[in-house]
Structure 1
Amino acid sequence: MLSEPSAAIVRATLPAVGAAIDEITAVFYRNMFAARPELLRDLFNRGNQADGSQSRALAGAVAGFASMLVAEPDRRPDQLLARIAHKHASLGIAPEQYPIVQRHLLAAVAEVLGDAVTPEVAAAWDEVYWLMAGALIALEARLYAEAGVEGCDVWRPWKVVGRVEETPEVATFMLRPADRSPAAPFLPGQYVSVRVELPDGARQIRQYSLSCAPNGTDRWISVKRVDGAGGAPAGEVSNRLHAQLREGDVIEISPPFGDTVLVEEDAPLLLASAGIGATPMISMLAHLAATGSARPVTVVHADHGPGSHAFRAELRQLVAKLPEATAHVWYENPDAPWPADRHGYADLSELDVPAGTRAYLCGPVPFMRSVRTDLLAKGVPAARIHYETFGPDSWLP
């Protein structure tokens, strides 16, 4: 809980901080990486730094947390904190890294806002930061303990035991512990981090959703190669995995993390994905099929065309195994007999969404925002609509 004097100061200064938050975070990252270049080299995603998406995500998290503190002082924003904690745990973030962020973040606030940052203002925002950091440190410690991790060392060698080319741009890597020891269980919808050494010596980390059912020791990750089309940075890790990772190779991955997981219940289920967002959905479907679920399941997927639709055959097979499941697929450029009736962008307006439906979304933010809008209009409560993003989460609920 934020102290009353600090709450008053934060409430009064939040508009100014919010208006300048993009500049503040840009200054923060610039100064922190100048002082600690190893953080950019071995921890932060260099592609996200280059396109500014990481800055926008941090801005949203800090501003969102502060807004919640002053709007509802007796309630901790657990959903926001849980999502960040899972991502941090998958990176192996340690408690001693939080003071580094605090020092550079508050210095950036002072640099951008100048004389408006009095000692009292600085102290109030320092309190906000440590309330958030303290909660995250505690949550991350619990996640490490649940994963059986000593300290914050999440990395473990896994051997590639198979590789499948799903599409020209998506490859599935089948992994098994290199030392053949038991693997931590996971829930449908979770992801792992992969740490890869690049030619310049940097060890970059990326998260990939698990694309298999959670049974047995093996883990599958399905990686889309990011080619850098349209001026976006090419994917350093995805391109290296596609070019070099073969059966018999060993890579480092983390235990499974992620808070967007399939809830075990009898309620109707809607799984909506676009492009490579199908990865967590195919894991959920595989789990439902493996456990003989009788839940009503509606699958919605959008893609450019059949040739780019990863798991196209698996989707048909898994839906066929579920007695109450239907699939609705939209292609912008359809050239195959299945599906033949849905062209263009996904449109849920004509779909029947039963009362009590729980929905999971994964894909580009515009797609998820559109689907979420349709679901809300059909009466699905916001609390029953869950989403997973690839990359920094700038779309906070």
Structure 2
Amino acid sequence: MKEVFTEEEVIKITIEHGYDGSEFNTAKWKQRGCLQMDRTQKMLMDKLETIYASVEVEGKGKKRRYILTDKKDEVAEREFNYKGRIASQEDEVMKEYIFNQLIKKDGLSYSYSVWAKELGFFDTDTLSIPEMIEKIKELHYGNNVIYNPKEIVSQFIKTLGNRNKDVIEKSFQRLQKENRIKVSATYYFKMLNGETEEVTKEDYDIVQEGLKEFIESKGVSYYIYSQAVNSFHKSEKMKSIIKEAKNYLEEWHGIQYSFKSFKITVLNKEVKQEVSKDEFETAYVQRLTKLTKDRQEKDSYKKSISYWQRFYYLNTLTLLIHMGTEEVNELFKEEVKSKIDKQEAYALDYMIYQFEKDIEKENIRHTFGNV
């Protein structure tokens, strides 16, 4: 599905998906209300490419328009080196492991979540949520600020799910570019009678566009909705929206839900690199922890008033160790040293935040009381 946006609109889209909107703080934007075609604009394009399958630009200055096609189910991670985005050493190891597994599964077609299980990724369905919640309670024992361990575990499981999908999707893309496999997408509806029906891309897009419009009419972005659907931690408002969306699909389209499947055809079965399951898992964890630490260093996380974001990296290391990934033990020991100081800093920030909220409420009360 192709959509056209102004530059201001696409920056706001990136903010909705977790980026900091730094483009609005540049001198050029403040002077002209648009970006210069420089590194900042290129970085904006990179951000959009983590959200959409295709990003194009037309026009100049304030008349510049961004053509965005096929929104992704989840936001992909951005990868950098000094020359731009390239595959890391860990990505290459994971790609070769995936290819070696695909040789045994030539011709099969699955959704990304099922491919993750078939390829031997961490299976989030097998994790014990109560045990993980207890582990987080132990980690933050004695903390004097209210936090939600259920939310922390939910975000961790969501991170693993997103990461699984991102690794598989990018590996498929690279292998196809190398002419080693062919990826064919097919589209399906889960019907009300429980049967699965293959449909055209056009029919799939019509349903997705309608659902997106319905969700956004409720004041929620489609991305936030899609992340919440399979999460076990939801607000009451989100539970209500998910229920309404379910009713919308049933009443207007006669389906339970829609999904995509990806058929893999292996074009060249030559194995370029033998990779064991242990080597794959090591590469996966190393890449995950690096990306997690990079995200923790962003101001939107480092200064966040949300507890799970403020301790995102530490929580991730804790739960990875709980899952048996001992290679992050040293990283955890180093990170936990600053836990108390960071908790005290967070408690102060939270107190100021609540104080300012109370003042704002009081001002609103007096304003309306004087009308």
What TM-score comes out, normalization by structure 1 length?
0.27
What TM-score comes out, normalization by structure 2 length?
0.28
Pick 1 or 2: higher relative contact order, CA cutoff 8 A, min separation 6: 2
- Name the structure where strand makes up a greater proportion of residues: 1
